[in-house]
Amino acid sequence: MKVAVVGATGLVGQVMLRVLEERRFPVSELIPAASERSAGKELTFKGVPVKVVTIEEALAARPDVALFSAGAGVSRTWAPRFAEAGTTVIDNSSAWRMEPHIKLVVPEVNAHLLTARDKIIANPNCSTIQMVVALNPLHRAFGIRRLVISTYQSFTGTGMKAVKQYQLEKKGFEPKDEERAYPHPIFENCLPHCDVFLDNGYTKEEMKLVNETRKILDAPEIGITATAVRVPVHGGHSEAVNVAFEKPFELDAVRRLLEEAPGVVVLDEPAANRYPMPLFAKDRDEVFVGRIRRDESIDNGLNLWIVADNLRKGAATNAVQIAEYLLAQKMIGQDAVADTQA
């Protein structure tokens, strides 16, 4: 199994390498790729140094699967070329998510839609992934009518530049203009500004939550509004999610559905001060749900607090889980080739 990681030197790319190793994905040959200025650098995989190559060189190696995390522009240019060469691309950028012919996949929710013909598969936005993992079983049971979402998102979601800005500010230094990922300080601050502002007054991040959630749940009729906030937190993203269901529900049934949901950990003992926090979600692959309670101001209303590591389940782990599903279904690798030839 030849596996390329495009964007291997970036924040998410490095976590992808770690997740591939930790989950023992059967990599016979790793092909870490990045921009030409990063080519020749050495990364470590399974204790062995591996040289970074250019994306052109990675394409020439004809990998079975390529995990992309190098930005939408790179994905738009290179993902089709890898796909044409027979490589299955799992793309972590926003480039393909809302294309009607491209599957937008969270394995716990809709991996069953994938086929061997899907050569470009979109990995959703980090905030969307953790939310739909928790909401999917509730939507199937009670039907979601409306969502009001407030996010508290780690600066790590913006990438290396944001991490460096935070570190400089924490040490008391004023970042230069070219060192800034944000227009304001992130250390000891909260910015109601994730991604760029659009003409409707929402940010791109907020509209990703709207559009991607509808696509993944196959529910274009759900009313969704979101406010996304960047916070000075390392460990992950947190979300206060207010849900209005079509059907009445019992809280015991909600808890049971969440406890049985794959990938979800219910942590809901407020009397004992036990609830999800990014501090404890860091470096974990599960989605943590707590503060489960009725919204007493509306009919069939529910409040949830949802937390996950944005670099792992929100990005790298979800991408690797998609690859694991494809491998188990013999859609990639030697078994897939044998099935095609047969």
Lookup: tokens for 290: 């707590």
Per the annotation, the verdict on 237 as an active-site residue is: yes
The one catalytic residue in 126, 139, 190, 194 is: 126
Per the annotation, the verdict on 193 as an active-site residue is: no
Nearest to 159 by CA among 112, 92, 102: 92
3-state secondary structure of 18: helix
Contact at 8 Å (CB) between 78 and 120?
A: no
The one catalytic residue in 139, 194, 234, 237 is: 237
Using CA atoms, how far residue 309 sits from 128, 156, 235, 281, 318, in Å, is 12, 10, 6, 6, 11
Separation between Cα atoms, residue 6 and residue 132, nearest integer Å = 26
DSSP structure class, residue 282: T
330: region left, alpha or beta (phi > 0 left; psi from -120 to 50 alpha): left
Separation between Cα atoms, residue 15 and residue 87, nearest integer Å = 21
Using CA atoms, how far residue 120 sits from 86, 220, 272, in Å, is 10, 23, 46
Contact at 8 Å (CB) between 111 and 122?
A: no
Which residues belong to the active site?
A: 126, 237
